[in-house]
A and B are shown apart, each in its own frame.
Chain A
Amino acid sequence: NAGVTQTPKFRVLKTGQSMTLLCAQDMNHEYMYWYRQDPGMGLRLIHYSVGEGTTAKGEVPDGYNVSRLKKQNFLLGLESAAPSQTSVYFCASSYDPATDTQYFGPGTRLTVL
């Protein structure tokens, strides 16, 4: 099993450009998450999904959209990138809704100029 994979690994955008980050998991997990990680601020939840076709807002959803058209994929979109969105983005998945033990991908480093 590959676990959780993320593409791309690195990306540089100009302010106002758009892009989509792809997360894929092969563990048949129902729950999927997008986090951003900034220095000194830990992991902050952007959006999450409790199953195919569902999405919900997390702690810092503004400026991002998500879609979960297939159970194994969770897409994070930036419609008009801003420098404040420069961060490392992590996707995670979980099978246990009680403990919510999460399995993380390797991350995407995004720089917005």
Chain B
Amino acid sequence: GENVEQHPSTLSVQEGDSAVIKCTYSDSASNYFPWYKQELGKGPQLIIDIRSNVGEKKDQRIAVTLNKTAKHFSLHITETQPEDSAVYFCAAKKTNFGNEKLTFGTGTRLTIIP
């Protein structure tokens, strides 16, 4: 089955700087890659996703890039703010296979230092 590795496990950045979280996946057939944000005491929430037919997607201060050849994708957060502090999870899925489920990475705890 699919295996998703996520790095780093913890990340601290100064407020206003950029943060980058990277994930690699093992199954070249995976074609859907969402990112979830989990705030303290809450469930994960989808913040952005990308499909394999595009290389980059942006939504205000967050962006995701995908390198299909290398089988890795990254989350970029620019101009970080204190409310960006959370645990972030990447995930991967093969959408053409009905029984396949999302496979999650192990998470990155991002801390924004004021």
Q: Check B43 against A105 for contact (C-beta < 8 Å).
A: yes
Q: Check A99 against B93 for contact (C-beta < 8 Å).
A: yes
What is the bound-complex CA distance between A111 and B39, given in angstroms? 21
What is the bound-complex CA distance between A41 and B102, given in angstroms? 15
**0/1 string, B26-43, CB within 8 A of A gives 1:** 000000101010000111
Question: Secondary structure of the B side of the interface?
Answer: loop
Chain A residues bordering chain B, tally (CB within 8 A): 22
Distance of B99 from chain A, by nearest CB (Å): 8
Question: Secondary structure of the A side of the interface?
Answer: loop
**0/1 string, A53-67, CB within 8 A of B gives 1:** 000001000000000
What is the bound-complex CA distance between A5 and B34, given in angstroms? 22
Contact of A104 with B43 at beta-carbon distance under 8 Å, contacts A45-B101, A97-B98, A98-B95 already known:
yes
Distance of A97 from chain B, by nearest CB (Å): 7
